[in-house]
Amino acid sequence: MSRTIVRAGAIAIAAIALLAVSALAFEWPADAGKFRYGFGTPRDGFLRGIEFGSNDGLALAADDGEMTFSAVGASLPGGYPLPGGSLIAVAHPADMMTIYAGLRPDSVSSYLKNVRKGDILGRSSSAGASRGATFYAFDARERRFINPLILMPTLIDDKPPVIRSVSLSMEGAETRLDQSKAVRQGSYYFLIDAYDSSPAGEASSPFDLRVLIDGSERERVVYDAAWASAGKANLFGGASRGEDSYLAGDGRIRLGPYSLSRGRVVISVAVSDYASNKREQTYSITVQ
C-alpha cells in the first residue's frame, strides 16, 4: 500500500472524527450501549448500523431533532419492504439523520414531531425475533452511513478482539496458516475470521484491520463509513472497498489478492476495536 493511500485514509478518518466532535453529541438509543451487533457485522450483508434488540427494550431518541418520516407495516406504499415492520427517521443539525428500523409496529411513537433527546420512539423486537431493532447514523450531506460508535459516548472496553483463523485461498483451495508451514508460489486471497465481542456478548465486528507481509503494511480497513455509488455498495472511507469483494459468503473478511514469491514469508494480521484494544497474529511460512 502506498504512503499516498495510507495518508488519504488517515485524512478520511480524521474528517469523520471531526464531524463527530463538532456536529453533535448523540446518546445511546437503548440499553446504555449494550448493543448486540455493531457496524460491519455480517448480518445478511454488511450491517450499516447497530442492532440493539434486547427484548421489549425501549428505543430512545439519540438527540434533539425533527421526525421526518414514520411508517409501520410490511412495506412502503411503493412496495419496498420494511425490515421488522417499522421505520422512523429523525433529522438533526449538520445534515445528520438517525434512523430506527425494526421497532415493534404497535409501539412506534408516530405522533411525535419535534423530538427531544431521550424521548421514547418505540420498543425493540419481542422475544424470539431473529433480528432486533437497528439504529443507523446517516450523513445526508455526504450520503454515507457512519459507524455510530464514532458519534456515541465511549464505552468501557478492555477486551481485545479475537482472530479465529487466517487462511490463504487460491483457485478455490484454502490453506489455514495455523495448520500449514508451506504453500506454493502464486497469488492468494486472505480469508480472515475475526470478531470483537459486543457489549451484549455477541460476535460483532472489529473497527480496524491491517495485513502486513514481511513487515510492510499491505492493506488497512477502518470501519468508519458505508455508502452506495453507481449501484455498487462501498465500504470504508479510506480504503473504499466493494462490499461484494470484501465479505465472503460465510461472513469472513476477504482481502487481496497478494502475490507470494518463493522463500520465507512472514504474514501478520492485526485487529483493533474502537477502544484501541488490539490482537495480532503472525505466521511464518515457506513459499515453494
More confident residue, 171 or 3: 171
* Digit-coded pLDDT (tens) for 156-199: 999 999 999 999 999 989 999 999 889 999 999 999 999 999 99
14 and 99 both lie in a single domain:
yes
8 and 147 both lie in a single domain:
yes
96 and 53 both lie in a single domain:
yes
Place of cell 455498495: 233
125 and 189 both lie in a single domain:
no
Amino acid at 163: I
55 and 180 both lie in a single domain:
no
In sequence order, the 6+-apart residues with CB closer than 8 A to the CB of 213 are 258, 260, 265, 266, 267, 268
DSSP codes, 12-48: HHHHHHHHHHHH-----SSGGG--SB-TT-BSSSB-S
Question: What percentage of residues in the chain have a pLDDT greater than 90?
Answer: 69
Q: What is the pTM of this model?
A: 0.88
Instruction: Reply yes or no on whether the pLDDT at 214 is more than 90.
Output: yes
Q: Can you give the CATH number for the domain in which 87 is found?
A: 2.70.70.10
For the chain, give the mean pLDDT. Answer: 88
Q: Which of 78-92, 145-159, 221-235, 266-280 has the lowest mean pLDDT?
A: 78-92
| DSSP symbol at 230 | T
Whole-number pLDDT of residue 24: 56
Whole-number pLDDT of residue 284: 96
69 and 12 both lie in a single domain:
yes
Counts of helices then strands in the chain (DSSP H, E): 3, 22
168 and 126 both lie in a single domain:
no
How many separate domains does the chain show? Answer: 2
Confidence of residue 77 (pLDDT cuts 50, 70, 90): confident
Domain of residue 247: give its range: 162-287
More confident residue, 102 or 110: 102
Q: Is 156 part of any domain?
A: no
Q: Is 194 part of any domain?
A: yes
126-137: string of b/e by CB count within 10 Å (b at 16+)? Answer: eeeeebbbbbbb
Among residues 151, 179, 203, the one where a domain terminates is 151
Q: What share of the chain is helix, strand, coil (3-state, %, to 5)?
A: 15, 45, 40
Helices (DSSP H) in 146-194: which residue ranges?
148-151
* Digit-coded pLDDT (tens) for 21-74: 444 579 999 887 889 999 999 998 999 999 987 666 889 999 999 999 999 988
Q: Is 126 part of any domain?
A: yes
Strands 182-183 and 278-287: parallel
User: What φ, ψ does residue 10 adopt, rounded to 5°?
Assistant: -65, -40
User: Exposed (0-12), middle (13-18) or buried (19+): which is 7, by Cβ within 10 Å?
Assistant: exposed
Adjacent-strand bridge partners of 260 = 186
125 and 169 both lie in a single domain:
no
Out of 14-18, 236-240, 280-284, the most confident range is 280-284
Among residues 151, 173, 196, the one where a domain terminates is 151
Question: Mean per-residue pLDDT for 109-129?
Answer: 82
Amino acid at 111: Y
Q: Is 72 part of any domain?
A: yes
Q: Can you give the CATH number for the domain in which 267 is found?
A: 2.60.40.10
